[in-house]
Amino acid sequence: MVRRLTSIRIPAAGRGRSPERPAAYAERRLVTGILGGRYRVGGNLPAERELAEELGVTRPTLREVLKRLDRDGWITVRHGRPTRVNDALREGGLNVLSALVRHGDPLPDGFVAQLLEVRCALAPAYTRAAVARNGAAVARLLAAGEGLPGDAGAFARFDWEMHRFLAATSGNPVYTLILNGFAGFYEEMAAHYFAREEARASSLAFYRALARAARDGDQERAFAIAADVMGKSLSLWSRLESRGKRRSAKATGTDGGAS
């Protein structure tokens, strides 16, 4: 069962920017229905005619959406038999990550921390490769971090572009594909993270240290610097999330102190 991430709310990326097309609307309804438990994992979706009426779309539009969700691992379309709902977090691929980002309210509990754990595993490796391939370009990019204004949004945008640049410069396109899977969500998440002065100060120190390693062409030092700051960012996010949960519990009277 997927639970709402109540401690720190992250809006679904791109929501509200333009009217949804019927296929996009149907996909969002189905994905959020699966995440929220309306369509139970291991169970079946309603019959096509019933489901099309429930979603308010034509059957050809619904078939298009079901085909896409089947491809991505959310469901299994079985001709002549009911469509099965899969455990997409176990059976899906990168497109499931992208769908979680687009439709991510509710999010799986702990999802943000899990994304940061993945970044902890990947970022040191693509940072080392980027410095090895083009340390001068990495240093030039990081120099721009010195002029960042002290607001969370500016830090979030710069940090995202830095990680994308490092991934692209590494020479391994898989890193970039993984990052692109949660593009809009990353900035939303980072804006919450960088709202704290502690986070901004830590990242400025990281940019400066990494710039020095890049200018020196020291790829192993770059790896160590990235590994250290990624671990610190995960720890800080976990503390923020814990505080948010405690505040939420107090506000709702579920912190154990209410009679």
For residue 85, pLDDT over 70 is answered with yes
- Please check whether residue 106 lies inside any domain of the structure: no
Query: Which of 92, 120, 135 lies at the terminal end of a domain, its last residue?
Result: 92
Structure tokens at 67: 């085909």
For residue 251, pLDDT over 70 is answered with no
- Please check whether residue 2 lies inside any domain of the structure: no
Please write the tens of the pLDDT for every residue from 139-169.
999 999 888 998 999 999 999 999 999 999 9
Residues with Cβ within 8 Å of residue 169, at least 6 apart in sequence: 129, 130, 133, 134, 137, 138
CB atoms within 10 A of CB 157: 16
Residues with Cβ within 8 Å of residue 212, at least 6 apart in sequence: none
- The per-residue pLDDT for 103 is 75
Distance CA(111)–CA(114), nearest Å, equals 5
Share of the chain above pLDDT 90, in %: 57
Return the C-alpha torsion angle 131, 232, 95, 158, nearest 10. -60
Tell me the residue range of the domain where 138 lies. Answer: 111-252
CB atoms within 10 A of CB 87: 12
Distances, alpha carbon 65 to alpha carbons 44, 94, 223, in Å: 16, 17, 42
Whether residues 135 and 238 fall in one domain = yes
CATH of the domain at 145: 1.20.120.530
Please write the tens of the pLDDT for every residue from 43-67.
999 999 999 999 999 999 999 999 9
Whether residues 133 and 248 fall in one domain = yes
108 or 191: which carries more pLDDT confidence? 191
- Please check whether residue 99 lies inside any domain of the structure: no
User: Where does the pLDDT of residue 256 fall: very low under 50, low under 70, confident under 90, or very high at 90 and above?
Assistant: low
250 or 249: which carries more pLDDT confidence? 250
Mean pLDDT of the chain: 85
